[in-house]
Amino acid sequence: MGTVTVGVSIAVPEPYGSLLQQHRIGFGDTAAHGIPTHITLLPPTAADAGELPRIERHLAQVAARGVPFPMRLIGTDTFRPLTPVVFVQVVEGAAACSWLQKSVRDASGPLARELQFPYHPHVTIAHDIDEAAMDRAAAELADFEAGWTVGGFSLYEQDAEGVWRLQREFRFGGDPAREVPAQTRSEPATSPG
C-alpha cells in the first residue's frame, strides 16, 4: 500500500485561521499555501497506508477521553536561533495540548514516536524565511489575540505536492466533569516542538 505522511493538529478557527495564513503568505513563507493554520499535536510522521484504519481508531479513542477546553493566543515569540520559526503564543490551553499530544503519541498506539524537541504548542506564522521577514512577522502580529473553545482535533495527510489535506475530524466525547489539564500561561519558548 505504501507510506503516507500524516499529522494531527488543532485547527485555528475562522476568522483567525485565514487571517494568520494570509499574514504568513505575506511574510514570504511559500509553504503557507499548503498548511492550514494549526497547533501541532503530532508533527509530520511517516505511516504505512494500511495502518490508517488503526490510526483513526486510536485517535477516536483519544478524542473520546477529551473534553472541550479554552484556547487563547496572544502575541508572538520565536525559536530563533535554534530554528528559524516565529509563532503566535498559546497562553491558555497549553497543558491540554500537551496532554493530547502525549496521548496521540502513546507508546502503545500506532503513532508512537519521539520528538526532535520538547513539545511547545504554538501557531507558526513564519518558517525558514529571511531574517528581515521573520522580524517583520514578529512585529506585525505582536498585538494579535484570539480565543475559542477547542472541541476536538483533526488528522491530516500530506499529498505529493506537499499540501496538507484534512482526512478526518475527531470531536471530544468525554464526560464534562472530567477535566483535561488546563493552564493559564505558557512556558517560555525553548524549542519548536
pLDDT at 51: 95
How many Cα atoms sit within 13 Å of 165 on the Cβ side?
A: 9
Query: What's the pTM?
Result: 0.88
Query: Which residue's entry shows cell 511574510?
Result: 27
Question: What digits encode the pLDDT tens for the residues 109-129?
Answer: 999 999 989 999 999 999 999
**Does the domain spanning 3-171 belong to CATH 1.10.287.3510?**
no
pLDDT at 165: 96
Question: What digits encode the pLDDT tens for the residues 160-180?
Answer: 999 999 999 999 995 444 444
pLDDT at 190: 32
Share of the chain above pLDDT 90, in %: 86
Share of the chain above pLDDT 70, in %: 89
Question: What digits encode the pLDDT tens for the residues 52-87?
Answer: 999 999 999 999 999 999 999 999 999 999 999 999
What is the three-class DSSP state of 161?
Answer: coil
Report d(CA 97, CA 149) in Å as an integer: 12
Beta strands in 49-191 (DSSP E): 69-78, 85-92, 122-127, 145-150, 152-158, 164-171
Distance of CA 3 to CAs 6, 52, 125, 189, Å? 10, 10, 29, 33
**The dihedral of CA 16, 18, 19, 23: what is its sign?**
positive
Question: What digits encode the pLDDT tens for the residues 137-146?
Answer: 999 999 999 9
Pairing of strands 122-127, 152-158: unpaired
